[in-house]
Amino acid sequence: MKKQILFAVLAMMPQVAMADANMPEDHAPIGVMGDHMHNKGEYMLSLRYAKGMMSGLRQGTDAVDLTAAGKMTAPKKMEMDMYMLGAMYAPTQNITLAMMLPYKSAKMDNVVLMNGRQFSTESSGIGDVKFTSLLRLYEGKKHKLHGGLGISLPTGSIKISDDMPAGNMPLGYGMQLGSGTHDFLPSLTYTAVDRNMKMTWGAQASGIIRMEDQNDRDYRLGNQFNLTTWVAYRFAPMASGSLRVSYTNQASAKGAALNTNPMMNAVFDPELQARRSWDLGLGVNLMPNKGALHGHRFAAELIVPMYQNLKGPSLERDYKLMFGWQKAF
């Protein structure tokens, strides 16, 4: 009898542990990557869709008109759609492995300054595949801390070109599908939960460090640093809302210009790619606790810039909207 009780308790333990991520607010806003770990043996599939919209030019913190970018042409607007397939698996309690495979498609509207004629350029395809190991550093009842060590492989093409008024030419850095370099992706994530207050909060510092001086096109993108912090509150049994603030510092690219035609515009100049921004994220996480969708997570987040400082002149961001589905097994 005692043995049976012991077995029953042991059998319940993993469930107790798994109950960890059963509330909608237990995952960070969907725009935060590598925010959580899994329990040993658990895996998770996810799909994200993101839409990014950029329009209008900015130099420093000021809006500038099209001629500022100007030589022969200027970018007017860029629209980006990204689908990202993700998988996570925890081989041990203290290590969670994650993989992300993006598919991107982008369209940029440009104008010929001399005659006002417009033309569009497009790119689409697989982006850079990322593999990350998340390492549990601290796990208390309320506070948790984990580190991430990731690598981004140059699977996305950097050889995309399209028709322009002066002929078929390479597209700008932002229209290419990958970085062309192996990139190191370190991160540190802190999360906390308070069940009585129905709240969670967290913060994450992450970076993108280019591990090669040059890619096949003789340039490398700038390193990037991101710091984000969020708070979430469960306002209904199956739904939580979140507020997030994010800081991004993207350094300039180094090396060759993508298009050496001196008549082309600022999007082809490596030195003008730097940007710093403060963004605000408004999110919602849904996790049905009964019915056919029980255990499935759905989330959305709208990210709008509060401050943008672009070396530019380059396109400023209007918004980014992300939707996600996640399911742990």
Residue nearest Cu ion, CB atom distance: 44
Smallest gap from Cβ 171 to Cu ion, in A, equals: 34
Q: How far is CA 126 from the centre of its chain?
A: 15
Smallest gap from Cβ 275 to Cu ion, in A, equals: 29
Nearer residue to Cu ion within complex by CB, 42 or 316 = 42
DSSP codes, 264-328: S-GGG-GGG--EEEEEEEEEEEE--SSSTTTTEEEEEEEEEEEEEEEEEEEEEEEEEEEEEEEEE
Nearer residue to Cu ion within complex by CB, 44 or 100 = 44
Q: Which residues contact 121 (CB under 8 A, 6 or more apart)?
A: 107, 108, 110, 162, 163, 164, 171, 175
Nearer residue to Cu ion within complex by CB, 18 or 304 = 18
Whole-angstrom distance, CA of residue 296 vs CA of residue 78: 33
Q: Return the structure tokens found at 64.
A: 């500038």
Smallest gap from Cβ 38 to Cu ion, in A, equals: 6
Nearer residue to Cu ion within complex by CB, 88 or 100 = 88
* Amino acid at the residue 319: Y
Q: How many residues does the chain have?
A: 329
Nearer residue to Cu ion within complex by CB, 113 or 192 = 192
Contact positions toward Cu ion, by CB under 5 A?
Answer: 44, 88
Smallest gap from Cβ 191 to Cu ion, in A, equals: 13
Smallest gap from Cβ 44 to Cu ion, in A, equals: 4
Whole-angstrom distance, CA of residue 206 vs CA of residue 33: 10
